[in-house]
A and B are shown apart, each in its own frame.
Chain A
Amino acid sequence: GLGLGAMAGGAQAQEALQPNSWDEVTSYNNFYEFGTGKDDPADNAHLLTTSPWSVTIDGLVDRPGAYDFKDILSEMTIEERIYRFRCVEAWSMVVPWNGFELADLLAMAGVQDSAKYVAFETLYRPDEMPGTAYRVLDWPYREGLRLDEAMNPLTLMATGIFGKDLPNQNGAPLRLVVPWKYGFKSIKSIVRITLSDQQPPTSWNMSNSREYGFYSNVNPQVSHPRWSQSSERRIGGGLFSKRQPTLMFNGYEGEVASMYDGMDLAEFI
């Protein structure tokens, strides 16, 4: 992959990012498997067993199989990436992630030429996930990327934050981070990665396709039926926090815009 300096909207933008605090990043989460309240994941995610953990990589790959999380870690180089994180609910944070590029993991399994999409699945273990007792979504949680999006050097598999292991409420032990897309694309606690030649079904899109598209790129010009996306509120500013303008592709236009050349982004939401 590229060096840290070439990441995240150029070195200048990267330097300007002030990370949120540990408390902010770990107490305000959307992880509906543990409840729909923002503090439910922090309250309930301790129930989750994250060791042992294995990730099944299958579909159009040369070396399909169940990969033990420890074995994956031993093959990967962990680096820090400080990214903006923009939720579709119009709030945002800056998170110092630790992880490796998804491209490296996919290379380990050997992506076949016919593969065009990558599908991801979150663990579904009802006895450890009180939020799944009620079908807010069609469990297990599913997400997907086009292969070029998955191979983009910005696309990260995070295993930690602030130099520590990923807390359960943030998607331990292994989660996706796609910083130019709305947060729900960055699927947590991944147990399956499937390469295919078809666009995979994704959870929020299945639940309400008018509101949540497959691409879900951060785009201040395309208004969501529920929230204006032109501005956002950085978490941590208190009761009188001011809104700030939302950036195209969440500020990563230079790195990712070319992947969408010729696509009408108002149509492919």
Chain B
Amino acid sequence: MRDRLNQLLRRLPTWVVYGLGLLPAPWLFYQGLTGGLGVEPIKALEHEYGELALQLLVLGLAITPLRKYLRVNLLKFRRAVGLLCFSYVSCHLLVWLLLDVQLPEQIVADIIKRPYITIGMAGFLLLLPLALTSNNWSIRRLGPSWRKLHRASYVIGVLGAVHFVMLVKGLQLEPLIYLALIVGLLLLRLPVRRIRPTSSPRRQRA
């Protein structure tokens, strides 16, 4: 079962993932234009893009734990998932800037004065270098520091979820689920230290 799934994944070209992953962006915009997102399409579109970005963040952070614990290998698609996530965060930000807030002086004030927006912006800025270095040339060029740089995705995951928790009125359930998922996935990355009675004296000797 698992082997067949991995085989299937190996055969699936990444361009399919990019293609399918990008489709919702123009589709949602069209929906917003034609009334499919309700009577307040600006907020709805902003929310849809933001939520897709969060889901892609969750998926991206799940790839290593999936391989480690369930031995399902999605490694090949990690770059696509990351870049798709960046695309939707960018769409989300553009809707906020151009359609929602509109007024430049209010945009600046919002980023400085409203903590959930400050946090969201910080997440976007951290995401920028990761998107720019998501290519083979950068991996060769940066060497071991590429891995270190891309660990910023852990911070970005938490910032994204906290942004969602803080922007809703009251303590709502849905954003808390995303936060729990992301924190959970990060905890799964912690090295499992097995406590074996024989290992402690050895360590002492060393």
Q: Is chain B found bound to chain A in the same assembly?
A: yes
A236 near B39 (CB under 8 angstroms)?
yes
A225 near B173 (CB under 8 angstroms)?
no
Is A198 interfacial (CB-CB < 8 Å)?
no
Residues of chain A contacted by B170 (CB below 8 angstroms): 32, 36, 136-137, 207-208
A226 near B116 (CB under 8 angstroms)?
yes
CB contact under 8 A between A230 and B106, given known A136-B172, A239-B33 = yes
Which of B114, B116, B167, B168 has most chain A Cβ within 10 Å?
B114
Task: Identify which of A21-29, A120-128, A251-259 touches chain B.
Answer: A21-29
Q: A134 to nearest B CB, angstroms?
A: 5
Contact flags B81-109 to A (C-beta < 8 A → 1, else 0): 00000000000000000010111001001
User: A207 CA to B171 CA in the complex, in Å?
Assistant: 9
CB contact under 8 A between A223 and B113, given known A134-B173, A207-B170, A239-B99 = yes
User: A242 CA to B100 CA in the complex, in Å?
Assistant: 9
Q: What residue of chain B has the Cβ atom nearest to residue A21's Cβ?
A: B39
Which single member of A28, A32, A239 contacts B45 (CB below 8 Å)? A239
Is A238 interfacial (CB-CB < 8 Å)?
yes
A28 near B172 (CB under 8 angstroms)?
no
Is B38 interfacial (CB-CB < 8 Å)?
yes
A228 near B38 (CB under 8 angstroms)?
no
B113 near A238 (CB under 8 angstroms)?
no
A36 near B39 (CB under 8 angstroms)?
no
Residues of chain B contacted by A28 (CB below 8 angstroms): 38-40
Is B32 interfacial (CB-CB < 8 Å)?
yes
A241 near B39 (CB under 8 angstroms)?
no
The B8-59 residues at the A interface (CB cut-off 8 A) are 29, 32-33, 38-43, 45
User: A91 CA to B38 CA in the complex, in Å?
Assistant: 14
A226 near B172 (CB under 8 angstroms)?
no
The B132-178 residues at the A interface (CB cut-off 8 A) are 167-173
A136 near B171 (CB under 8 angstroms)?
yes
Is A58 interfacial (CB-CB < 8 Å)?
no
Which single member of B39, B106, B116 contacts A24 (CB below 8 Å)? B39
The A16-67 residues at the B interface (CB cut-off 8 A) are 23-24, 27-28, 32, 36, 38-39
A243 near B39 (CB under 8 angstroms)?
no
Residues of chain A contacted by B171 (CB below 8 angstroms): 136
Q: What residue of chain A has the Cβ atom nearest to residue B95's Cβ?
A: A239
Which single member of B103, B110, B172 contacts A243 (CB below 8 Å)? B103
Q: What residue of chain B has the Cβ atom nearest to residue A243's Cβ?
A: B102
B102 near A242 (CB under 8 angstroms)?
yes
User: A24 CA to B169 CA in the complex, in Å?
Assistant: 21
Contact flags A219-238 to B (C-beta < 8 A → 1, else 0): 00001011110110101101
B33 near A238 (CB under 8 angstroms)?
yes
Which single member of A136, A207, A241 contacts B42 (CB below 8 Å)? A241
Which single member of B42, B110, B116, B173 contacts A233 (CB below 8 Å)? B42
Residues of chain B contacted by A235 (CB below 8 angstroms): 39-40
Q: What residue of chain B has the Cβ atom nearest to residue A223's Cβ?
A: B113
Q: What residue of chain B has the Cβ atom nearest to residue A242's Cβ?
A: B102
A38 near B113 (CB under 8 angstroms)?
no
Q: A216 to nearest B CB, angstroms?
A: 13
Is A260 interfacial (CB-CB < 8 Å)?
no
CB contact under 8 A between A238 and B41, given known A228-B109, A231-B106, A243-B103 = yes
Which of B32, B38, B115, B171 has most chain A Cβ within 10 Å?
B38
Q: A44 to nearest B CB, angstroms?
A: 15
Q: What residue of chain A has the Cβ atom nearest to residue B172's Cβ?
A: A36
User: A28 CA to B38 CA in the complex, in Å?
Assistant: 8
The B47-81 residues at the A interface (CB cut-off 8 A) are none
User: A240 CA to B33 CA in the complex, in Å?
Assistant: 9
Residues of chain B contacted by A227 (CB below 8 angstroms): 114
15 new A-B contacts at CB < 8 Å, known A136-B170, A137-B170, A238-B33: A24-B39, A27-B38, A36-B169, A39-B38, A136-B171, A207-B170, A226-B114, A228-B109, A231-B106, A235-B40, A238-B41, A239-B42, A239-B45, A241-B42, A243-B103
A-B contact pairs, 28 of them (CB 8 A): A28-B39, A32-B170, A36-B169, A39-B38, A89-B169, A91-B40, A134-B173, A136-B171, A207-B170, A208-B170, A225-B113, A225-B114, A225-B115, A226-B114, A226-B167, A226-B169, A228-B109, A230-B106, A235-B40, A238-B41, A239-B29, A239-B41, A239-B45, A240-B99, A241-B42, A242-B102, A243-B101, A243-B102
